[in-house]
Structure 1
Amino acid sequence: MSCDKLAIVVKGYPRLSETFIAQEILGIQQAGIPYRIVSLRHPTDKKRHPIHERIMAEIDYLPEYVYQEPMRVFRGWLKARKMPGYRRARNIWWQDYRRDRTPNRARRFAQALVMAAELPNDITRIYAHFLHTPASVARYAAIIRGLPWCCSAHAKDIYTSEDWDMREKLADMDWLVTCTKANVDHMQKLADDPAKVNLLYHGLDFSRFPEELPDRSPRDGRDDNNRVTILSVGRLVGKKGYDDLLRALADLPKDLHWRFVHIGGGNGDKYKSLAEDLGIADNCDWQGPRDQKEVIAACQSADLFVLASRVEKDGDRDGLPNVLMEAQLCGLAAVSTAISAIPELITDGLNGKLVPERDPKLLSLAMAELISNPTLRDQMGRKGNEIVRRDFSFYTGMKELARRFGADRAFDKSTLGQPAAE
């Protein structure tokens, strides 16, 4: 089987919050699979991960909005309308638009026209990350060009999309991979052929992490001059539950001394204001976005990791957050919520504590237990490291993905994670 030449469709590139996509793209590059990136949006993050500097792909940025590049969209239409699959793609889009009369749905077809018109002739497969907008653009463009396509689905894209939309995409694509068992179960119920849906954990590239666990101080929260550091990494958005976490921190016993460190983007004003109202602002350190190297360093120096994930009213939720795996690989005990695929990594009482979502009281009790018990934290952190190294290797998933793309050369584990030349 010959190796595919990929067009990888992403919503935006590069993005600090999507390290797992950058890691996979680098793995595709290191496996010798030809590819280019097609991005629906331009980057907005001011920082970049070091991994982005190692990705050598050509990047095509599609028009974010039709009014910004109307002539480019018009030229795309003139060329695409002469392609054999144009009529079918237009009819499918029109059926979709009748059920979803939004500017976003119209924009997806315009972007697909440009993509189909501008994509090099040697591309043999389109591969989309996320089953919502990127998969729509990929689907329309693939039909226009007469190319096979496939998709990697994650969390928000699955649980906020309409069933009819996902069902019809699954019928059109060759295969779909998704990053949790919970997602697989959900998607197989929608697929005409359940065998199309497969589990593929993102996993971690262990070469980016120190092999030895840090020698952490046995802090137990009793010394105000040697406080326990509680770390959380995530965007300041509803599904991460930071208002629940702040209320849980405020409910900790007054004789426990702690420091809360947050890393992540988003609008932090309302959370900082809430911390002020709760009387814990002096204990909170809001560090903003950081690259992966800085996140790993923060995990190495912290004592406890907490993520209060929850399901939002529109269905948006985490899948299996990479930051939980990163914290565990660094030997951090974790406190989180028993939603989505988090229990696929964290077993309550073994490598961390799980509590119900939206329950600051129980979250506070779980944190208090681990803050005051450094021996238990250490045991759980070491077990978490063992579990991640056993079950969540990036290499295992990347090898399977390379096979799906028909990589015809030996896929050597040693090619992954090579440090960039200094």
Structure 2
Amino acid sequence: MRPIACLLATFPTTTETFIVGEIQELRRRGVPIALFALAGAGGTVPQPEAMALARETTYAAPLASGRLLAANARWLARRPGRYLGALGLLFRRTWRNPVHLLKTLYLFPKAVELGDRMSGQGIEHVHAHWSTYPTTVALVLSHVTGLRYSFTAHAGDVTLFRTLLGEKIRRARFVVTCTDDLRADLARLAPAGGGGKVHLNYHGVTLERFPRRARPEPAVPTILACGALYKRKGFAEIVEACAILRDRGRDFRCVIVGDGPNRRHLERLIARTRLGERVTLVGAAPQSEVARRYAEADVFALPCSERPVSVWDPEADLMKSLEAWFEPAGGVIKDGIPNVLVEAMATGLPVVSTPISGIPELIRDGVNGLLVPPQDPVRLAGALERLLLDPSLRRKLGDQAAEDVRERFDRRKNVVELVEIFGRYLDGAAARPQAAGVVG
């Protein structure tokens, strides 16, 4: 069985635990995965599984390295038409977005060098995570070396950057995405008749890591929120809702787990609303600690919103902001189905979120959670208050949430579906699961 190359952007990172879990489960089912990445994280990631995978990952060579120069010279001499044709394709498809074009040209020789390494390892198929630059690299190395590729699109990568996306879909063997909302969006972007190769596969969670918990009646209930601290995640609205709850005389505490560019703003907001004794920012945490936080909490909140990226965006570097500004369509970043919502629901936590993107595919309002309009701290406070005051409602929603996650978001079941997708397009040779690993 030939290995499949899994191509990542920056690896490892604290926000891509779902990719780590997917790789581990694919390997458990007998699918050989070779890891490649465009860049390293440049620091320690508090996920031991991710750090272990990083040690076996092949990273793209620096531009000035002899290996990169030799690989490009070799493929230019061997397939000059394919090499120059790939360059021409990039110019034709990206010139309207000069920032995207410059980044793509920077990655072009790295793509050829990675393709050279993959070919040398007997790899025939590349699967890229994220529809942006990892898939651009996959497209280039496929065009030059003849390797096949597919990719998984996750959320903001589709809605933020559309340049070259239609071409990537057209040339890919297949496309996977994590919400039906995104599947429909990508199918519309596919060339005529190509929408059928876009497949839905929910990420899911490893249920053993997030067991269902019985929650005794707390003396002081805890509201929990987790995630990277970006504005679109709604952490500021959570703090504002906490101020409303305090002013209504409700007793609670709130714990926010995560780190990111919006932390300073949240610290100032907590100080300004005099919530320092009730709202705590604990920073980034390993998955084991996050699981413990779920077990200790009584309510989970993540009121996400869609957010346009501006040129001077404090949450994005200048190049990314300029690139989004040049996009003829897109320029909006949003989540698909945040994995922390799935994890919290798996433990039986009642959740409050918003009806955007793929979240309604997970949360049914009033059945297994509550949905409120985005960027509305008053409505958010009302939903949280309902849960704080009604233990029976918390149990009802939490019990149904745990059942629904086990039915539709069990990573082991969902990876079986992913393996079947690989097998359908790769003639089964590279991705047929071992019989002992398949669950019924």
TM-score of the aligned structures, taking structure 1 as reference length:
0.90
Q: Deviations over 1:130-188 (max 9, x none)?
A: 001110011101111101100011001110112x5211111000000100010111111
Maintained 8 Å contact 1:80/1:116 = no
Instruction: After TM superposition, list the pairs within 5 Å mapping 1:303-314 onto structure 2.
Output: 303-313=298-308, 314=331
In the aligned structure 2, how far is the partner of 1:99 from the partner of 1:76?
29
In the aligned structure 2, how far is the partner of 1:321 from the partner of 1:18?
11
* Residue number in structure 1 paired with 2:129: 129
How far 1:61 moved relative to its partner? 1.1
One-letter identity of the residue aligned with 2:415: M
1:400 equivalent to 2:401? Answer no
* Residue number in structure 2 paired with 1:78: 73
Maintained 8 Å contact 1:83/1:144 = no
Change (3 A) 1:281 1:411: farther
Q: Could you say what secondary structure the match of 1:251 adopts?
A: helix
* Residue number in structure 1 paired with 2:177: 178
* Residue number in structure 2 paired with 1:324: 341
One-letter identity of the residue aligned with 1:92: L
* Residue number in structure 2 paired with 1:410: 434
How far 1:72 moved relative to its partner? 4.6
1:100 equivalent to 2:97? Answer yes
How far 1:37 moved relative to its partner? 1.1
* Residue number in structure 2 paired with 1:90: 87
One-letter identity of the residue aligned with 1:230: I
Maintained 8 Å contact 2:9/2:39 = yes
* Residue number in structure 1 paired with 2:4: 6
* Residue number in structure 1 paired with 2:385: 368
1:249 equivalent to 2:252? Answer no
* Residue number in structure 2 paired with 1:110: 109
In the aligned structure 2, how far is the partner of 1:76 from the partner of 1:238?
42
In the aligned structure 2, how far is the partner of 1:72 from the partner of 1:243?
48
How far 1:285 moved relative to its partner? 1.6
* Residue number in structure 2 paired with 1:258: 252
Q: Which runs of 4+ in 1 moved over 4 A?
A: 53-57
Instruction: After TM superposition, list the pairs within 5 Å mapping 1:15-414 onto structure 2.
Output: 15-52=13-50, 55=53, 58-63=56-61, 66=63, 69=64, 71-84=66-79, 85-102=82-99, 103-121=102-120, 122-162=122-162, 164-192=163-191, 193-210=194-211, 213-219=212-218, 226-254=219-247, 255-267=249-261, 268-313=263-308, 314-403=331-420, 404-405=422-423, 406=428, 407-413=431-437
How far 1:413 moved relative to its partner? 4.4
In the aligned structure 1, how far is the partner of 2:341 from the partner of 2:256?
14
In the aligned structure 1, how far is the partner of 2:286 from the partner of 2:106?
31
Name structure 2 gaps, 5 residues minimum: 309-330
Maintained 8 Å contact 2:28/2:437 = no
How far 1:39 moved relative to its partner? 0.8
Change (3 A) 1:409 1:216: closer
One-letter identity of the residue aligned with 2:164: D
How far 1:397 moved relative to its partner? 1.9
Maintained 8 Å contact 1:8/1:127 = yes
How far 1:409 moved relative to its partner? 4.8
Q: Could you say what secondary structure the match of 1:157 adopts?
A: helix
Maintained 8 Å contact 1:182/1:341 = yes
TM-score of the aligned structures, taking structure 2 as reference length:
0.86
How far 1:265 moved relative to its partner? 2.2
Maintained 8 Å contact 1:218/1:375 = no
In the aligned structure 1, how far is the partner of 2:150 from the partner of 2:207?
27
Maintained 8 Å contact 1:131/1:166 = yes
Maintained 8 Å contact 1:160/1:316 = yes
Change (3 A) 1:70 1:410: closer
Q: Could you say what secondary structure the match of 1:82 adopts?
A: helix
> Share of identical aligned residues, percent?
29
Maintained 8 Å contact 2:239/2:279 = no
In the aligned structure 1, how far is the partner of 2:54 from the partner of 2:32?
11
Change (3 A) 1:36 1:277: same
How far 1:30 moved relative to its partner? 1.5
How far 1:25 moved relative to its partner? 0.8
* Residue number in structure 2 paired with 1:419: none
In the aligned structure 1, how far is the partner of 2:353 from the partner of 2:113?
43
In the aligned structure 1, how far is the partner of 2:56 from the partner of 2:89?
30
In the aligned structure 2, how far is the partner of 1:96 from the partner of 1:279?
52
One-letter identity of the residue aligned with 2:384: M
Change (3 A) 1:412 1:232: farther
Q: Deviations over 1:327-364 (max 9, x none)?
A: 00111000011111111111111111101111111111
How far 1:414 moved relative to its partner? 7.1
One-letter identity of the residue aligned with 1:186: D
In the aligned structure 2, how far is the partner of 1:218 from the partner of 1:326?
21
Q: Deviations over 1:11-55 (max 9, x none)?
A: 121222101100111122212222211111112452332433664
Q: Could you say what secondary structure the match of 1:174 adopts?
A: coil
